[in-house]
A and B are shown apart, each in its own frame.
Chain A
Amino acid sequence: MFDVKVDGQQREFKGLAGSNFGEVMDRLCQEIVTPNRVITAVKVNGEEITSEMQSKYCSLPTDQLKSIEMETANPEQLIRQNLLSAADYLTRLIPASEEAAEMFRLGEEMGANELYAQCVEGFRWLVRLLRGSDRLQQLRGGESLLGDHLSPVPQITDEMFQAQRDQDWVMLADLLEYELIPLLKKWQKAIPPAIQQRKEKQECK
């Protein structure tokens, strides 16, 4: 038999029997997930699993399960928290992107590429965070959080990857300086009203 913890609390659920982890999780979701509560993180046998890893773990036989730990959150709070994280991250991503662009222009290729790689990774994370939050918002029947501010992302990233492939650093610097950074700044401008909106909703409730 395995332990189940929800938000750090040991919980007992009846009828959790199943042949594998997937079946157990379906059962737990039915018990835990409500319109005001969603699962935000899952650990199996102490290891955190992402959505991508989920399929691998679904077939894990129950006799190999020792523990399942879950974090849950209020969707409204989650969205707000994500937006706060995004706003905070943008304050670092924008200057880093500016620096990378400048380094490319000055010919400091090695440093520029290292910083650029971090920026791209950060940008991807940020896009995932904002897209996830936006989807959650839409699932809950709300309006898109950032409107069409997310739509230029594929084109910009495609062009940046092309410039990187060509090692055309001036072009890449241009894309960073004149495309990506203005977009990030738009996000930076759009996020605080969205946070404020959530806060006000919360207070009304």
Chain B
Amino acid sequence: MEKLDSEIWEKNIKLLADRWPDLAAPLLQENAFFSPGVRLIDCRCGAKSCQVEGESGSWITLHSTYNPWREAEEIAKHIELKNDQILVLVGIGLGYLPLVLTKTIPQEQAMIIVERNTQLLKAALRCLDLSDFLSLPNLSLLVGEEPAQMVKQTGKIQLKYCLRDLNVVEHPPTVRAFPSFYRPVLKQLRRCSRSELRRRIFYPKVRSEKLNILVFDSGYFTLRESVRALEMLNHSVEVLSVPRPQQGQEQVDGQEDGGARECGENFVKRLLTKITSFKPHFIFTVNHLGFDKEGKLTELLTQLQIPVLCWYVDSPSYILENHERNLSLLLYIFVWEKHYVEKLKNLGFRNVYYLPLATDPEVFRRIPSHHRCLDSYRCDVSFVGNSMVKAVEKWFRKFPHSPAAEKIGQLAIQMQRRSHQTPMEEILSRIKSEYGLSIPFEHDEAIIAFESALVLKSTQEYRRELVEALEEFGLHIYGDEGWFSLVSPEKFALFPPLDYYTQLPLLYNASKVNLNATSFQMNSAVNQRVFDVAACGGFLLTDCQPDMQELFELGREAICYQDREQLKELVKFYLQHPQQRAEIARQARERVLAEHTYLHRMEKMISVFKEEMS
């Protein structure tokens, strides 16, 4: 028997040490075969029962001394199990009931064990093979802590499981042996067993015209404009700040786990407080900012039945690495780039819609041409944009380099340059089928980094070639320091980046021709500049993105170039024809004000959402 005990002990304590090292450590230091205050009894059926010395000094039997398994099975029959509850077992005894329950509960059932007596746990570890029970993925052990601490920990676990109700089941003899410990614990646990907070959160969504909208504010530029538009549409908006992406991060650098980084707990607390007080009909975020890759926040909000509307204005590929954890029927994704609609739907996202970018005419407004504030920005041709130098360096460091990767990379960039509309993923797939070259990485992260690096590098080369083609026009380039290494500073007027809200509108007003060179990240979409320049009444020469002809009447409201030769011709032409330039800019502005402001986008987004919800 002792040998058997020893084997069981080794097996159990190893499992305990793996998952709860702090709990196992003191037990490992003690004599494994001695538990003060616990008296083991050999049952008639061959199993073990035990008695504990209760706080009154008398010895209390914790399990049947005849057949503890049968007893546990009988008790288990009386426990009503619900998947959406957290099962809290108060008192572990030698572990008979948890083991019996392990056989019947779903593997993912959340369970908490509250046990005052570490010595009893030790006795259990040496009497019964608890491995099935200790391996339950959602098991929490609260052993040997103070009552208040246990209640607090239970609250935290409840929060982790989306405020599920607690199903508190006590082990009667354990409670009777130590009433002064367990009674207050039970009282507290039963008080919070029905999550009132959860109930307060379950209010009807989207019944009224005027909606309460909670916006996750990450400081991202689109949010400010979206909030203003939502308020103009007469909705009630409240903002919850989420941790911002690190300074200097490229837009395409992917999202950090905002909520998770802030210490999920604190963020979720603030969020729940806001939800209970404001009762939002939905949460609005841009680029999924504020959400964690693990999908914990998505799970919480889905459990609370709070819809989330997310507008992607950057590539979701960088963000949804663990997309399956962020799947939710209550997640409504709006993407500015059409090809992501199918892509995201194929990943399992059910509600995905196309929603192009827009402008805020309050920010991008026409300024009289004689106005002196424009003086320092006046030029014939200008380009505002990132050189991608830093981003390329950064993303090229994120995958292992090899001759094979280099060869595929060169081919991919060439093909991307020839076909703006083809996603890099598809290009790499073509290279595999046509040239028999496969990406030499196994991990998804490296593959995504490789694809991203190639997109950025393609954009960088594309932009460099375009601006170099306009050397003779005295092009003004506004952007990052990378431009100094990308083009010859002697040949171009290089300027630092402009403030989006205060300086950029001035440049768009002041420059006779505004150049647009869309990133290869967008295969069909148009970027912000197309709308912002037009809203200012500025003239824009842009590349021929497929969405342009849906959003504007080409030739009348927008002028597109096919290649750098045509670009040069068009720049020359429109610099020589100011009236035609002005007419196109006027028409473009009318179109933008009529159809392409944030007001229109938010209106569209809410109408889609209401229709889906109804």
List chain A positions with a Cβ less than 8 A from chain B.
102, 105-107, 109, 166-171, 173-174, 177-178
- In the complex, are the beta carbons of A169 and B176 less than 8 A apart? yes
A106 CB contacts on chain B under 8 angstroms: 75, 78, 172
CA distance A142 to B173 in the complex (A): 48
Q: Please provide the 10 A-B residue pairs with the shortest distance between their CB atoms, ordered closest to farther.
A: A107-B172, A170-B61, A178-B66, A171-B61, A170-B173, A168-B61, A174-B66, A166-B58, A174-B64, A174-B65
- CA gap between A177 and B74 in the complex, in Å: 13
Contact of A167 among B58, B64, B74, B78 (CB under 8 A): B58
B120 to chain A: closest CB distance in Å?
Answer: 15
Contacts of B66 in A (CB 8 A): 174, 177-178
Q: For B63, what are the chain A residues with a Cβ–Cβ distance below 8 Å?
A: 170
Can you identify 12 A-B contacts, CB atoms within 8 angstroms? A105-B64, A105-B172, A106-B75, A107-B170, A107-B176, A166-B58, A166-B59, A168-B61, A169-B172, A169-B176, A170-B65, A178-B44
B-side contacts of A109, CB under 8 Å: 172, 176
Do A105 and B176 contact each other (CB < 8 Å), given the known contacts A168-B61, A170-B61, A174-B64? no
Q: In the complex, what distance in Å separates the CA atom of A106 from the CA atom of B78?
A: 8
Check: B525 CB closer than 8 A to any chain A CB.
no
Number of B interface residues at 8 Å Cβ cutoff, please give it: 20
Question: A170-B173, A171-B61 provided; 11 other pairs, C-beta below 8 A?
Answer: A105-B74, A105-B75, A106-B75, A168-B58, A168-B61, A169-B173, A170-B62, A170-B71, A171-B65, A174-B61, A174-B66
Taking a contact as CB atoms under 8 Å apart, the answer to whether A170 and B64 are in contact is: yes
Residue-wise, chain B 45-75 has the 8 Å CB interface mask toward A (1 for contact) of: 0000000000000111111111100010011
| Most chain B C-beta atoms within 10 Å of own C-beta, residue among A102, A105, A109, A166 | A105
Q: Does B175 contact A (CB under 8 A)?
A: yes
The chain B residue sitting closest to A108, CB to CB, is: B172
Q: Tell me the smallest distance from the CB of A184 to a CB of chain B, in Å.
A: 16
- Please determine whether A105 and B71 come into contact, CB atoms closer than 8 angstroms: yes
Chain B 319-378 interface residues, beta-carbon cutoff 8 Å to A: none
CB distance from A177 to the nearest CB of B (A): 7
A106 CA to B75 CA in the complex, in Å? 6
> In the complex, which residues of chain A have a beta carbon less than 8 angstroms from the beta carbon of B61?
168, 170-171, 174
Chain A residues closer than 8 Å to B170, beta-carbon distance: 107
In the complex, chain A residues whose CB is within 8 Å of the CB of B71 = 105, 170
Q: Which residues of A contact B176 (CB under 8 A)?
A: 107, 109, 167, 169
Q: From known contacts A102-B74, A166-B58, A167-B58, infer whether A107 and B65 are also in contact, taking CB-CB under 8 Å.
A: no
Known: A170-B64, A173-B64, A178-B66. A107 touches B175 (CB 8 A): yes
Most B CB within 10 A of own CB, among A106, A166, A174? A174
CB distance from A63 to the nearest CB of B (A): 57
B binding-site residues for A, Cβ under 8 Å: 44, 58-67, 71, 74-75, 78, 170, 172-173, 175-176
**Which residue of the partner chain B has the closest CB to A163?**
B61
Whole-angstrom distance between the Cβ of B50 and the nearest chain A Cβ: 10
Complex interface: chain A residues within 8 A of B60 (CB): 166-168, 170
Find the A residue at minimum CB distance from B68: A170
Q: Quick one: closest A residue to B174, CB to CB?
A: A107
Chain B residues contacting A171 (CB-CB under 8 Å) are 61, 65
Q: With a CB–CB cut-off of 8 A, which chain A residues contact B173?
A: 107, 169-170
Contacts of B64 in A (CB 8 A): 105, 170, 173-174, 177
How far apart sit A168 and B62, CA to CA, in the bound complex (Å)? 9
Return chain A residues, CB-CB under 8 Å to B62.
170
Most buried by A among B62, B66, B75, B172: B172
Q: How far is the CA of A169 from the CA of B174 in the complex (A)?
A: 11
A-side contacts of B75, CB under 8 Å = 105-106
A106 and B71 alpha carbons, distance in the complex (Å):
10
Give Cα A174–Cα B64 distance, bound, in whole angstroms. 6
Chain B residue nearest in CB terms to A170: B61
B239 nearest CB across to chain A (Å): 50
Contacts of B44 in A (CB 8 A): 178
- Residues of B within 8 Å of A102, CB to CB, are 74
Q: Which of chain A's residues has its CB closest to B44's CB? A: A178
Chain B CB within 10 Å, residue with most, of A167, A170, A173 = A170
Give the CA-CA distance A106 to B67 in the complex, in Å.
15
Contacts of A107 in B (CB 8 A): 170, 172-173, 175-176
Q: Which residues of B contact A173 (CB under 8 A)?
A: 64
Alpha-carbon distance between A171 and B43 when the two chains are bound, in angstroms = 12
When chains A and B are docked, how far (Å) is the Cα of A106 from the Cα of B62?
Answer: 12
Shortest distance between the CB of B189 and any CB in chain A (Å): 15
CA distance A177 to B68 in the complex (A): 12
Q: Give the Cβ gap from B77 to chain A, nearest Cβ, in Å.
A: 10
Write the chain A residue with the least CB distance to B170.
A107
Chain A min CB distance to B171 (Å) = 8
Assembled-state Cα–Cα distance A43/B62 (Å): 51
Please give me the residue from chain B that is nearest to A165 by CB atom: B58
Give Cα A109–Cα B176 distance, bound, in whole angstroms.
Answer: 10
Residue of B nearest to A171 (CB): B61
Distance in Å from the Cβ of A14 to the closest Cβ of chain B?
A: 64
When chains A and B are docked, how far (Å) is the Cα of A109 from the Cα of B60?
Answer: 14
In the bound complex, CA of A197 to CA of B67 (Å): 38
CB of A101, distance to nearest CB on chain B (Å)? 10
Q: How far is the CA of A106 from the CA of B59 in the complex (A)?
A: 19
Complexed CA–CA distance, A171 and B44 (Å)? 13
| Cα–Cα distance between A178 and B67 once the two chains are bound (Å) | 9
What's the Cα separation between A167 and B71 when bound, in Å? 18
* B173 and chain A: residue at smallest CB distance: A170
The distance from the CB of A66 to the nearest CB of chain B, in whole angstroms, is 55
* CB proximity of B574 to chain A, nearest CB, Å: 87
Q: Report the separation of the CA atoms of residues A178 and B61 in the bound assembly, to the nearest whole angstrom.
A: 15
Q: Cβ of A169: which chain B residues have Cβ within 8 Å of it?
A: 172-173, 176
Complex: how many Å from CA A197 to CA B134? Answer: 60
* Minimal beta-carbon separation of B43 from chain A (angstroms): 10
Minimum CB distance partner of B93 in chain A = A170
Residues of B within 8 A of A167 (CB): 58, 60, 176
B526–chain A nearest beta-carbon distance, Å = 69
A104's nearest neighbour on chain B, judged by CB, is B172
Tell me the smallest distance from the CB of A116 to a CB of chain B, in Å: 15
Query: What distance in Å separates the Cβ of B374 from its nearest Cβ neighbour in chain A?
Result: 82
Q: A85 CB to closest chain B CB, in angstroms?
A: 31
Looking at the assembled complex, report how far the CB atom of B573 sits from the nearest CB atom of chain A, in whole angstroms: 91
Q: For the complex formed, measure the closest distance between the CB of B89 and the CB atoms of chain A, giving whole angstroms.
A: 13
Complex Cα distance A200/B227, Å?
99
User: Which residues on A sit within 8 Å (CB–CB) of B78?
Assistant: 106
Residues in A with CB closer than 8 Å to B65 are 170-171, 174
Q: What's the least CB distance linking A92 to chain B, in Å?
A: 22
Say how far B63's CB is from chain A's closest CB, in angstroms. 7
B175 proximity list for chain A (CB < 8 A): 107
Cα–Cα distance between A178 and B75 once the two chains are bound (Å): 17
Within the assembled complex, what's the spacing in Å between the Cα atoms of A102 and B176?
A: 16
A171 to B58, CA, bound (A): 13
Q: Residue of A at shortest CB range from B64? A: A174
- A173–B172 CA distance with the chains assembled, in angstroms: 13
